[in-house]
Every structure is written in structure tokens, then in C-alpha cells.
Amino acid sequence: MPQLTANHLKDRLVKRLIIDRGIEVSDATNKDMYYALSYIVNDEIMPNWFKTNKSYGEKQAKQVYYLSMEFLIGRLLESNLLNCGMLDVAKEALEELGFHSEFVFAEERDAGLGNGGLGRLAACFLDSLASLHYPGHGYGIRYRYGLFEQRIIHGNQVELPDYWLKDSYPWETRKEEEAVVIQFHGKVHMFKRNDGSLEFKYENTDKVLAVPYDIPVVGYKNEVVNTLRLWSAEPVLEQNAEAMEENREFYRDLDHQHSIEQISGFLYPDDSNYEGKELRLKQQYFLVSSSIQNILKKFKKGHRLPVSRLSEKVVIQINDTHPSLAIPEMMRILMDEERLDWDTAWEVTTKVFAYTNHTTLSEALETWPQEMLQNLLPRIYMIIDEINERFCKSIWFNYEELRDKIPELAIIAHGRVHMARLAIVGSFSVNGVARIHTEILKKKEMRDFYSLFPEKFNNKTNGITHRRWLLQANPKLADVITEVIGPQWIKRPKQLISLLKYSNDKALLEKFNRVKHENKKALANYIHQHTGILVDDQSIFDVQIKRLHEYKRQLLNIFHVIYLYNELKENPNQDMTPHTFIFGAKAAPSYYVAKEVIKLINTVASIVNYDKDIQGKLKVIFLENYNVSLAEKIIPAADISEQISTASKEASGTGNMKMMMNGAITLGTMDGANIEIHDLVGDSNIFIFGLTADEVLHYYQNGGYNARDIYNTDDRVKRILDQLNQGEFGKHDIEFKDIFYNILYHNDPYFVLKDFEPYLETHELAERAYRDRLTWLNMSVTNIAYSGKFSSDQTIREYATDIWKIKQV
């Protein structure tokens, strides 16, 4: 590609504005500019997209398909520019035309097609697949409404619909000619063929059309463009003139149409919380049926091989159990359409699927009511039933010692279909997302399955794309790094390790310090604009950003803030480094306790931020509508990264890695990937506190500890809980009583009180360390240096070699 210059790009923008929008630059808004630039970037992407697809075809490469109900991709213009190698030129061209690139990029609505960690991981993986030149694509749902938009009104979370497709979305291409039909309900008829084999026919099914919309996934400066294919549900257009004539029928049809479009209508906002809603089951089958049909169609078009050899060319990763119906769906097509017998179909299927588990929380486990599945997907249910029968029989005959355990292993048990069990039985690989998480799966949660299939289990510690989370989100830091160690780290992030050589170089540390401070100033500005609150950019920026969940313990964090506030009220002249606590978190709309915690954080903020007595030493900021774009603003400015889940509960975490890569120091428990961060940087570059996973699990086995003892003996704790109970933080004296009861009457199931004292002590250590600037900066650079290990490029290489057996092409 000839080198694109800013002048050249300016010309193209000017032309584009006239041709597409009929306006001159002087009349163009940021939005006009956003579209003009996006279409130009598309022009660059399209030929490479075509070329990539062609080369995969020619090379007959094995493909990996990542099936996920969520892809939290955020905005694409800036990352596409970056990956196309056009970002600097584009920024220059925009500035010269009188536009701020930041405002132009901000015109794009976040594609919030995910809840949190699982969806963002899928997005990072796509970026790495394309950047490493792997033939890998995503399949998901094109929800018309993404994750709700959060507003905070009088301290409470209010949810607004996220109609992200309101304006046209420049990155998608509708591929109507590749639409497929999905069938629900109906009756299954069984016939015997002449050769004695069985044939299944479906009657009176409800048909839905799945129409794909393709989004390009651009690799970093390598001319590779992979595909994220999102399915949209539409009515199948059968010309039924008679029905249309009758008005009543017409309206019935509108209803019908509406109920079909509902299937891709909205993303369920529950994170780690299973609800057995039929519409969600429909969504899952809609995703897997359209994707599997499409995968097989492509396989047959691209290869002369029989479908019995599918696993030589195709591997499918299922992102948690949500797409696990893909397993019986594959069996259905192989048997009912491709006419394979059961054993051959099963052999093919179990060589194609691999399953990733993302949580051990029992409330997240998917089990569908048997009748619901049977009624919605009769043929799929028959197949699951058969898989179950054969599986249970094989245990009965081959594993006598597990006979008693059959009810706990069976896929269908007590009237429910257990999706994790189906996923394990139907896959050749089962992986957890951090070392400790995989160990807990093997030793506890999936122990018996591990004894049955030890060879299936493996660990793949999560990762994050350093392109979005460092190069794009923190260009100043990226520049300093390149200045010091050269640009090789961009393609080989592990080379960040060379920074260690300079971690005592004062002049250099000063540069890192300056970058962090500039990022803090930028965030302080954002905070001021959006909340009206002035924060001190010299204060410690202490950040906890993630979904709101009891196990993540935002409550522990805010208890600490209340404690500091109480201390300062008693002794306003106390010597304390000014501290800004920053929160971002969405609660599932139906999660009452989580919403109470949001209210508490906002209430504490409204008291602390305006109290003159404490001389601005403490600020509490809750930033509303935490999403990918907001994360990109907050993370580069973080000093302390709060990763304080109850040990054993956070499968991995990925925000911990993002903040580490941006020079924040982790203050956290020995949980998830924090443990692996600790392994790398060592005791002196991380602040670890609290119960270990073993201790937590031990307490659970023995009925917990006594929370009341701590309430009765620790004055600081008593003070805080009484303040909640007596309404000191509320307009009404009942406010926050539920939090009080939850802790004392449910015996503090997440060990907030138990870990409180070590948490305070560790914060004191961190504050002391922060004052020693050189030591702190050294810690910060050490963290950046080791963070290359957590690039999703590394994770994807491990998936590719250990599980997928695919090659870079």
C-alpha cells in the first residue's frame, strides 16, 4: 500500500463529505466527519477482507470459530485506524481540518453487546487472532439493544435502553443471501428407511430467518481482516396473501413478526446470574443453529472432504455454556441432514468442540427445565436425551466407583438439563481462565468429570489486547516505552520486559511520572465535566471498575472510605495523602443488593465530597455508565488497581491486567489472575491481603466464621455498620439497613468484615509506598515490564497450539 499522507487523507475527507453528505468541511459536524472517515477506512479494509477470505480458501486452512452470546467490542473507528496503520495520519488530517480527533471518535456509539469480562475477552481474542494471522472468526447475535445505559439519579441506578443502531452503523455489511432458517417448536416424526436406518422429519415448526451482518476484524498492520458475524432474527417471508387480507390475521401477523424480532431484540443484562427465561433459550439456539449451519455450508463449499472429516478443517470454541446447544445441533445436522450414523456423528462432534468455563459461582450455572427445552426444541431434546443415556450407561458399566454419583453427573437430572455437563461430555477440551480457577474446577467443581476425562482439562489464563489497552488507550505511555526500548514490543509484547533494565533510571522514571500525571489530569477534567466535582490530580487515584457483584466486594472498598472519613472527621489535621476513590459499575437491574451498594457509594460520595472539614483529602467519584470507552479513559490514569474479590470467586479478572499494563499497582486478594501477577512481579510490587482461596473454601465447608464477633470487637467496624443501621447516611433511617442485615444476619457470606482489617493495613502500606515517589515509580514500571505476559496474543497462541491445532497463515 502506498504511504498515505495527511494531505492525501484530507483530500479524501473533503471529497467524501461532498459525495456522501453533500456538505463542505466548514459545515461538517463531528458526526459528519466520523462517517466520512469511517467510510474511508472501510475502503482500505474491504480489499484486504476479500484477500484474506480468498487466501483462507486457497490454503484450505483449518479455521477456528469462536461462538459467543457476547462480544463487547466498544468503538471501532480508532482501533481500525490504529490497526490499519492510519491513526497518526488521521489525527493529523482531522486537526488540520479543524477537528479534534477525540470528539470525532466519540461520535461512535459503543457496541455494548456484552455484560463484562466474558464479552470483552471475546473481543480481545478476535483482535489477537487477526493480528497474529490466525484464521479465526466470531459468531454472535446482533442485538438491537446492547447492555443498558446507566444513569445515576439521586444516587440510584436507572436503566435506559441502549438503542445503539439508531444511526447507521458503518462497520457492518448485511449478507442477506447467506441467511438461514431456524426452526422452533413443532413435532418430530420418525420413519424407518429401506436400509433400516432412522429418518426424522419435523412438522409444523415455527420458522425464523437468521440474517448475518458481518463486521471486519482488522489485524495490526498485517493486511489480515477476519470476520465477526452477527445474526439478526427476521420473519421468513412466505407470501401468504390470504392471511394478509383479513385484518385480524394481519395484526396477528404483526404480533408474530414482533415476537420473532425479539429473538435478537436485546442482550440479557445478567452477569453471572442465571435466569431460566425462554427467550434466552431461544436466543441461544438461534445463535448456534445459524452458526453451525453456516460453518457446515462453508466447509462443504471449501473442501472436497466428507463431513466425517470435519475436525481436520474446523474447530469451534464455545464461550461458556451459553452456546452449548451447538453440540446437539451439530449432531442433528450430521445425522438428520448428512445421514451419518450416531457413532460417526458423535466422533466428529466431540473432535470439533472445545468449551471454556468462566465462573464457578453456583448461581451462574445454566440448567434448563426439561419441558421447556423439549417443547421449544423437540429434536434437540431427543438428541440430548440420547447423549445422556449413553453417557450414564458408560459410567454404570465402566466406572463402578462413580455409580452413586450418576445423578450429579447426568446431563438430564431432576427435570433439568445441565448445560455444563453437556458441554464437558460433548467437547474434547475443557479450560478454565486462570491457573487457580482451573485447579478449582479440577479439584472441586468438576472433580468427578476430571476423574472421568483428565485429558480434556487444561488452563488458558486470560489476556487482553495490548493494542487497544496500551497503544490506543495510552498513546503517551506507549511513546515513552518505545523511546526507551524501541518499537519491537508492539509486535512482541513480552519484550516489555526490557524496561526492567531502566526501572532505576531516575530521569526515565520521571518521564513515566509525567505521563501518568497527564493522564490523571485528563481524567480529572472528565470527572469535572461529568460530575461537577473537582479532584486533586496529585491525589492517589484508587480505581475499582467492574460489574457490581457481592463477590467483587465494592462494599469492602466503600467501608474503607467510610472508615477514612470517620478518622478525618475526628482528626481533620491528620497527615494523609489525598486520595480519590473512583468507581465504575453496572448492577444487573434485578440485583437488589448490588443496587443498594451503588446507592451507598453515591451517598457516601455526596457527603464526603462536600465536607469542608476534611480539607479535600478525600474524594469519592462514581462514574456512571461504565463501558469500554470509559474504561479507556480511566485505566491510563489509575495508580491503584482494586482487585479485592473474595478469594476463589473471581475466575480470572482482566481489568487487573489492563491496569497493570498501564502502570497501576494491584491491591488485591490471592484470587484469579492476581495470583499470576503476584508470581511475576513478586511481593514487593503488589499489595496482597486477606483470606486465601483455601481458607475461604475451608470456612464454607465448616459453616463460615462468626461475623458478629468482629462487629462486637472491632470499634471501627461497629461504627460503620451502626452508621448504616441508624441512617446516618440516609435521608430516611431505613436506608442501608438491608446491607447491615445482610452482613450480620446472613453471616457475611463474602467475608467483608473478616478481610477488613488486613485491607486497611494494606492500604496504609500502599499509601506509604506512594509517598516514596521513586520506589512507587519503580514498582509501576516493573508492573508494565511484566505485563506482556498478559497480552491476549500469548493466550491466543496457547489456544491455537494446545487446543485448536491451527496455524498462522
Residues taking part in catalysis: 358, 546-547, 552, 654, 658
The answer for residues whose C-beta is within 8 angstroms of residue 68's C-beta and 6 or more apart is: 118, 119, 122, 138, 139, 140, 318, 319, 322, 323
**Pairing between β-strand 180-184 and β-strand 225-235 as defined by DSSP bridges:** unpaired
Closest approach of Cβ 434 to ligand 26W, in Å?
7
Closest approach of Cβ 339 to ligand 26W, in Å?
35
Q: Which stretch binds ligand 26W (CB under 6 A): 73-81, 369-377, 646-654, 765-773?
A: 646-654
* Contact by Cβ (8 Å): 668, 643: yes
**Pairing between β-strand 687-688 and β-strand 665-668 as defined by DSSP bridges:** parallel
Between 114 and 133, how does the x/- string for binding to ligand 26W read (CB under 6 A)?
-xxxx--x------------
**Looking at beta carbons, which residue is closest to ligand 26W?**
117
How far is the C-alpha of 570 from the C-alpha of 580, rounded, in Å? 20
In DSSP terms, which residues pair with 226 in a beta bridge? 217
* 3-state SS assignment for residue 227: strand
Strand runs (DSSP E) across 599-661, as ranges? 618-622, 640-643
Closest approach of Cβ 422 to ligand 26W, in Å?
15
Closest approach of Cβ 269 to ligand 26W, in Å?
9
Q: Which stretch binds ligand 26W (CB under 6 A): 55-63, 283-291, 359-367, 384-392?
A: 359-367
Site for ligand 26W in 759-778 (CB under 6 A): none
Residue closer to ligand 26W by CB (options 70, 110) is 70
Q: Which stretch binds ligand 26W (CB under 6 A): 233-241, 265-273, 563-571, 713-721?
A: 265-273
How far is the C-alpha of 96 from the C-alpha of 92, rounded, in Å? 6
Instruction: By CB under 6 A, name the one of 364, 382, 410, 500 that touches ligand 26W.
Output: 364
- Please tell me whether residue 668 binds ligand 26W under the rule CB under 6 A: no
DSSP-assigned letters across all residues of 332-366: HIIIIIT---HHHHHHHHHHHEEEE-----GGG--
Residue closer to ligand 26W by CB (options 357, 603) is 357
* 3-state SS assignment for residue 533: coil
- Please tell me whether residue 359 binds ligand 26W under the rule CB under 6 A: yes
Q: Which stretch binds ligand 26W (CB under 6 A): 59-67, 194-202, 358-366, 402-410?
A: 358-366
* Contact by Cβ (8 Å): 87, 79: no
How far is the C-alpha of 125 from the C-alpha of 129, rounded, in Å? 6
Which residue's C-alpha cell is 431484540?
265
> Helix 77-84 and helix 30-59: axis angle, to 10°?
50
Q: Is 725 exposed, middle or buried (0-12, 13-18, 19+ CB in 10 A)?
A: middle
Residue type, 281: L
* Contact by Cβ (8 Å): 543, 664: yes
- Please tell me whether residue 433 binds ligand 26W under the rule CB under 6 A: yes
The answer for residues whose C-beta is within 8 angstroms of residue 253's C-beta and 6 or more apart is: 243, 244
The answer for residues whose C-beta is within 8 angstroms of residue 670's C-beta and 6 or more apart is: 436, 647, 678, 688, 690, 692, 693
Q: Which stretch binds ligand 26W (CB under 6 A): 111-119, 588-596, 749-757, 794-802?
A: 111-119
Residue closer to ligand 26W by CB (options 270, 537) is 270
Residue closer to ligand 26W by CB (options 74, 672) is 672
User: Number of residues in contact with ligand 26W, rule: CB under 6 A?
Assistant: 23
In DSSP terms, which residues pair with 235 in a beta bridge? 208
Residue closer to ligand 26W by CB (options 594, 710) is 594
Between 671 and 690, how does the x/- string for binding to ligand 26W read (CB under 6 A)?
-x------------------
How far is the C-alpha of 700 from the C-alpha of 350, rounded, in Å? 36
Backbone angles phi, psi at 276, to 5 degrees: -80, 55
- Please tell me whether residue 445 binds ligand 26W under the rule CB under 6 A: no
Residue closer to ligand 26W by CB (options 359, 742) is 359
Residue closer to ligand 26W by CB (options 116, 378) is 116
* 3-state SS assignment for residue 615: coil
Residue closer to ligand 26W by CB (options 213, 551) is 551
Residue closer to ligand 26W by CB (options 545, 614) is 545
In the chain, DSSP finds a helix count (H) and a strand count (E) of: 33, 25
* 3-state SS assignment for residue 183: strand
Site for ligand 26W in 287-326 (CB under 6 A): 320
Q: Which stretch binds ligand 26W (CB under 6 A): 112-120, 198-206, 607-615, 749-757?
A: 112-120
Please calculate the CA angle 363-142-180 and round it to the nearest 5 degrees: 110
Strand runs (DSSP E) across 546-591, as ranges? 579-584
- Please tell me whether residue 269 binds ligand 26W under the rule CB under 6 A: no
What cell was used for 783?
508492573
Closest approach of Cβ 654 to ligand 26W, in Å?
5
How far is the C-alpha of 638 from the C-alpha of 520, rounded, in Å? 8
Residue closer to ligand 26W by CB (options 332, 460) is 460
Residue closer to ligand 26W by CB (options 91, 282) is 282
Residue closer to ligand 26W by CB (options 364, 760) is 364
Closest approach of Cβ 696 to ligand 26W, in Å?
15
- Please tell me whether residue 272 binds ligand 26W under the rule CB under 6 A: yes
How far is the C-alpha of 332 from the C-alpha of 201, rounded, in Å? 11
How far is the C-alpha of 135 from the C-alpha of 128, rounded, in Å? 11
Between 647 and 666, how does the x/- string for binding to ligand 26W read (CB under 6 A)?
---xxxxx------------
* Contact by Cβ (8 Å): 664, 639: yes
- Please tell me whether residue 462 binds ligand 26W under the rule CB under 6 A: yes
Instruction: By CB under 6 A, name the one of 270, 329, 336, 735 that touches ligand 26W.
Output: 270
Closest approach of Cβ 281 to ligand 26W, in Å?
11
Count of Cβ atoms closer than 10 Å to residue 227 Cβ? 22
Please calculate the CA angle 329-455-120 and round it to the nearest 5 degrees: 60
Site for ligand 26W in 478-507 (CB under 6 A): none
Closest approach of Cβ 202 to ligand 26W, in Å?
28
- Please tell me whether residue 358 binds ligand 26W under the rule CB under 6 A: yes
- Please tell me whether residue 542 binds ligand 26W under the rule CB under 6 A: no
Q: Which stretch binds ligand 26W (CB under 6 A): 167-175, 268-276, 590-598, 739-747?
A: 268-276
Closest approach of Cβ 440 to ligand 26W, in Å?
12
Give the CA diameter of the chain: 93
Q: Which stretch binds ligand 26W (CB under 6 A): 53-61, 235-243, 271-279, 712-720?
A: 271-279
* Contact by Cβ (8 Å): 179, 294: no
* 3-state SS assignment for residue 97: coil
What cell was used for 205?
415448526
Closest approach of Cβ 798 to ligand 26W, in Å?
14
Between 319 and 338, how does the x/- string for binding to ligand 26W read (CB under 6 A)?
-x------------------
In DSSP terms, which residues pair with 583 in a beta bridge? 544, 622
Q: Which stretch binds ligand 26W (CB under 6 A): 357-365, 405-413, 622-630, 748-756?
A: 357-365
Residue closer to ligand 26W by CB (options 136, 212) is 136
Residues that bind ligand 26W (CB under 6 A): 115-118, 121, 270-274, 320, 358-359, 364, 366, 433, 462, 650-654, 672
